[in-house]
Structure 1
């Protein structure tokens, strides 16, 4: 009898503990068909049809969980894996949980997490971006201070997710928010270090953001520094910490949301004096409960002080539409074009016409 009572008590305790813990399986699959047209300005034009993954959001699956520890304290974790559903290959360089792999604690003090984590800069990078912050976005296609790089247009360099990172997110207060992270360099170097490999190893990443959102207005500021110091071998004198700055905002006029943003990238490619300034403007229009239209323009201008290096200016224009079939599934389509100009060089142009579908689970 006593054994039965003890067993029942243990089962009851286990049930109470499990009731305080949650684990969620989630993900999304995003596929699009596109025609990519390039013109090098010197008489060569190519047109390529592609079926790719992740125009609006990168395809992914993940696990997130939380345990109530009592007294307002919670333990949280997230494991998220990216993949290219057009080929089945892993994204983020083949990492198992390349999008996120962290554990942490949260309470009245805010939230602290450690592991591979999205930087605070990345958290707000596309917050006020026009054209849905997608692969059709002029900002994503032109900005060097963007964290998105489609591969066929010179654009971004900012680290989106940093390894060996400690991140703190402050509790929201009267619409204001803030976050800070630091990624340790761990002094990792290749077996045979070279100057060419210096930009990819032993890099400490410091990132922060400040946000405000109340009523129809939203504003975000972000800064990120990626150290040029490399342990184990000499850093060339021309090297400097690469840094990124963003200031952007939006205002909802009731069905119409206006967006404006400014960006700056310093020491692009870790080269001192290679700087870029950029801006974007855009608008979202809620045409119906299911249909949203968006358009935007972006301009990114290099202003390097390096001798013998010609500045490049990138101008992008894009528009897109998203139509919801349900809470989890929507169709989308759009067009974007980017023109790159450099002194004494013919202007080059890349255009993208795309249509796709996304499903979340």
Structure 2
């Protein structure tokens, strides 16, 4: 009883202290997600082999974070976010062994003038288009091949300043710039622009991002495949341009989604359709989400991706389907399946599922549990 009274006294003192200064808050949050993952036809030295593994971060990457704000008066707040990614299977850090690899920023937010932040952040495509794609309702394995448009956050952008307007009549826009932090100012810098419009059942987002020489280590993008923290090998290019537009419409229990995105990897050394040369992707996606009941959601999506490199071309066609059952507001069970068929000159590769296929087809099934706190 004495210990309980002491805790109450401390809470009262904390309240009084907060009244003496500007009001502030810090929220601890997170997601723990793990499941069993089956991948067919994984390429090995002996040919195609099936792979069964315990996988972390299927529906959402496992994470914990701190989100804070301080009321400075007049509608102005100081804000920060520190978000860590980790592998629940072995406890290791994610995002290239970074302590706060998912997000890390500090800034000011105004109800009148918008929000300005600095740090490691998402670009406009990830903020406004990725939230409307199929991956937002299914696991990461519904990502477009090689996450070529970066909508599944294969990389974030370092050394950034970002400004987002206040939301006016459902409209919001943002701009981001990532410094190279080098005397060669243009080497490994990045920028993006985007906008979102939401009105009742309708939500539309669009964005564009560019990174210059992303393979240089230490700048806005860590993209050198031979570095200590490798990312998407496509980034070993002279320049990367990515763009996209997506929309969803809620019709009762149904949510319909459409998305188009593209990417251009100029002078890439990565071999895909040809030994080397500029790679151009285009992704077309349609999805249906059906809320069967308050505790059960079903999702079905189809993605068609074309790729062109040095006069050679090919395509990928992927079907994604899944069910999500909520045991409570914070805990759910999921079962998802994926099948990808590539043209005969390409290897199927369901992104993040265990490796490229030994041929032009690959299937994935994943079942797991997700808990949010």
TM-score (norm 1): 0.81
Q: Are 1:89 and 2:89 matched, yes or no?
A: no
Paired with 1:316 and 1:180, the residues of 2 have a C-alpha distance of: 32
Structure 2 runs not aligned, ≥5 long = 1-12, 218-235, 270-276, 348-357
Structure 1 residue 145 corresponds to structure 2 residue 149: yes
CA distance in 1, matches of 2:129, 2:301: 16
CA deviation map 1:235-254 (0-9, x unaligned): xxx96421001011111111
Residue number in structure 2 paired with 1:119: 123
- Residue in 2 aligned with 1:57? 60
CA distance in 2, matches of 1:266, 1:185: 20
Q: Pick closer, same or farther for the CA change 1:287–1:142 going to 2, 3 Å.
A: farther
Q: Distance in 1 between matches of 2:30 and 2:346?
A: 47
Contact residue 28 and residue 360 of structure 1 kept, 8 A? yes
The residue aligned with 1:359 is 371
Say if 1:121 and 1:209, in contact at 8 Å, map to a contact too.
yes
What's the CA shift string for 1:50-105, capped at 9, x where partnerless? 10100111001111110001111100011111000011110001101111111100
Residue pair 2:144, 2:305 contacting (<8 A) in 1 also: no
Aligned to 2:264: 266
Give CA-to-partner distance per residue, 1:218-273, whole Å, 9 cap, x none.
111010001128889xxxxx964210010111111111111111111112574664
Q: Is the 8 A contact 1:105 1:111 kept in 2?
A: yes
1: CA distance between counterparts of 2:308 and 2:145?
A: 18
Match of 1:5 in 2: none
**Structure 1 residues 333 and 205: alpha-carbon distance in aligned structure 2, compared to 1, 3 A threshold:** same
Measured in 2, the distance between the counterparts of 1:173 and 1:267 equals 35
Q: Which residue of 2 aligns with 1:350?
A: 362
Matches within 5 A, 1:92-171: 92-107=95-110, 108-130=112-134, 132-135=136-139, 137-141=141-145, 144-148=148-152, 160-171=155-166
CA distance 1:288–1:204, change in 2 (3 Å)? same
Bigger radius of gyration among the two: 1
Tell whether the 8 Å contact from 2:249 to 2:256 is kept in structure 1 after alignment. yes
CA distance in 1, matches of 2:215, 2:40: 39
Using a 3 Å threshold, how does the CA distance of structure 1 residues 24 and 312 change in structure 2: closer, same or farther? same
Q: 1:203: how far off? A: 1.1
Whole-angstrom CA distance in 2 between matches of 1:126 and 1:207:
14
Q: For residue 319 of structure 1, what is the aligned residue in structure 2?
A: 321
Q: 1:24 to 1:126 in 2, by over 3 A?
A: same
Q: 2:293 aligns with which of 276, 281, 288?
A: 288
Shift of 1:205: 1.3
List gaps (5 residues or longer) in structure 1. 1-9, 149-157, 190-200, 233-237
Q: What per-residue deviation string (whole Å, max 9, x for no partner) do you get for residues 110-165 of structure 1?
A: 000001112222113422222644435534456521333xxxxxxxxx76421110
Encode CA deviations 1:20-59: one digit per residue, 9 max, x unaligned.
010111111000111111166xx94311111010011100
Change (3 A) 1:161 1:231: closer
Q: Is the 8 A contact 2:314 2:346 kept in 1?
A: no
Cα distance 1:302–1:231, how it changes in 2: closer, same or farther (>3 A)?
Answer: closer
Query: Bigger shift: 281-290 or 332-341?
Result: 332-341
In structure 1, what is the equivalent of residue 354 of structure 2?
none
Aligned length: 324
Show the 5 A alignment for 1:119-268. 119-130=123-134, 132-135=136-139, 137-141=141-145, 144-148=148-152, 160-187=155-182, 202-228=187-213, 240-267=238-265
Q: How far is the alpha carbon of 1:211 from its aligned partner?
A: 0.7
Q: Deviations over 1:166-203 (max 9, x none)?
A: 011110011111111100011289xxxxxxxxxxx941
Normalised by the length of structure 2, the TM-score is 0.79
The worse-fitting range, judged by mean Cα deviation, of 135-144 and 14-23 is: 135-144
Corresponding position of 2:229: none
- Is 1:138–1:337's contact at 8 Å kept on the other side of the alignment? no
Question: 2:16 and 2:37 mapped to 1: Cα distance?
Answer: 55
CA RMSD of aligned residues (A): 3.0
Residue 73 (str. 1) matches residue 71 (str. 2): no
